[in-house]
């Protein structure tokens, strides 16, 4: 369980670019040839956690919890299974908001704009790893917990359009219109193209 003890604007923020540079250097904690973990040590926020490969699936969840390299939580285990079942050789977990909070109700009430800017740089980096990035929307209806989260998604839509990304959901969206959260999906759930432009107009 990760329960934030303060808002992220009260924390020293590690910027994405130097955090990525550190994550690419050898680590005694995990195999950097297998894992991409930014920042490369456990902190109150996380930009990226995933495996390395030639055909990655970018999964966009709501916000990080406690997962780390070689210690995936049940949600990340499901993400990995579904990515592999759909023909990808790796997964890259990203989140709409980078603050760690096991319970979304504990997320900060106001968006930290600097944290979002750095998180957006992380997304742009992930998009750059593929000629036509595959992005799985996987945040569930809990995105309604904070009003700023859909504004973050709209920024990621803009970044994805610039990179020629194709967006997917795992199975059809929920009745609410939101994409499914990965946790309770079957391991062989098929990805379906997702009209994220229409989605963001609706919400």
pLDDT in tens, 109-135: 999 999 999 999 999 999 999 999 999
pLDDT in tens, 130-161: 999 999 999 999 999 999 999 999 999 999 99
pLDDT in tens, 40-92: 999 999 999 999 999 999 999 999 999 999 999 999 999 999 999 999 999 99
Q: What is the pLDDT of residue 164?
A: 97
pTM equals 0.96
Q: What is the pLDDT of residue 8?
A: 96
Which one-letter DSSP state was computed for residue 124?
A: H
Q: How confident is the model at residue 178 (pLDDT cuts 50, 70, 90)?
A: very high
Which one-letter DSSP state was computed for residue 135?
A: E
Per-residue tokens: 188: 């062989």
Q: How far apart are CA 37 and CA 58, in angstroms?
A: 14
CA distances, 113 to each of 4, 9, 149, 152, 200 (Å): 18, 9, 12, 10, 20
Segment (H or E) for 150: helix 148-163
Question: Contact 30/70 with Cβ under 8 angstroms?
Answer: yes
Q: Summarize the chain as % helix, strand, coil (round to 5).
A: 35, 20, 50
Q: What is the pLDDT of residue 181?
A: 95
Phi, psi dihedral angles at 200 (to 5 degrees): -70, -25
Instruction: Tokens 């995105």: give the residue.
Output: 143
Question: Contact 131/82 with Cβ under 8 angstroms?
Answer: no
């Amino acid at each position: 369980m990760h329960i934030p003890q303060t808002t992220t604007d009260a924390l020293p923020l590690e910027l994405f670019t130097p955090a990525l540079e550190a994550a690419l250097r050898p680590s005694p904690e995990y195999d950097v040839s297998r894992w991409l973990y930014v920042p490369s040590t456990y902190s109150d926020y996380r930009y990226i956690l995933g495996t390395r490969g030639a055909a990655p699936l970018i999964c966009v969840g709501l916000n990080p919890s406690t997962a780390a390299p070689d210690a995936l939580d049940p949600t990340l285990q499901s993400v990995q299974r579904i990515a592999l079942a759909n023909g990808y050789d790796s997964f890259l977990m990203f989140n709409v908001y980078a603050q760690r909070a096991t319970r979304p109700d504990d997320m900060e009430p106001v968006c930290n704009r600097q944290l979002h800017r750095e998180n957006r740089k992380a997304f742009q980096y992930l998009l750059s790893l593929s000629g036509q990035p595959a992005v799985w929307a996987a945040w569930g209806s809990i995105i309604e917990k904070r009003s700023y989260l859909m504004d973050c998604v709209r920024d990621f839509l803009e970044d994805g359009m610039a990179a020629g990304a194709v967006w997917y959901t795992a199975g059809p969206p929920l009745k609410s219109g939101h994409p499914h959260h990965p946790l309770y999906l079957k391991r062989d759930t098929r990805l379906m193209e997702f009209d994220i432009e229409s989605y963001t107009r609706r919400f």
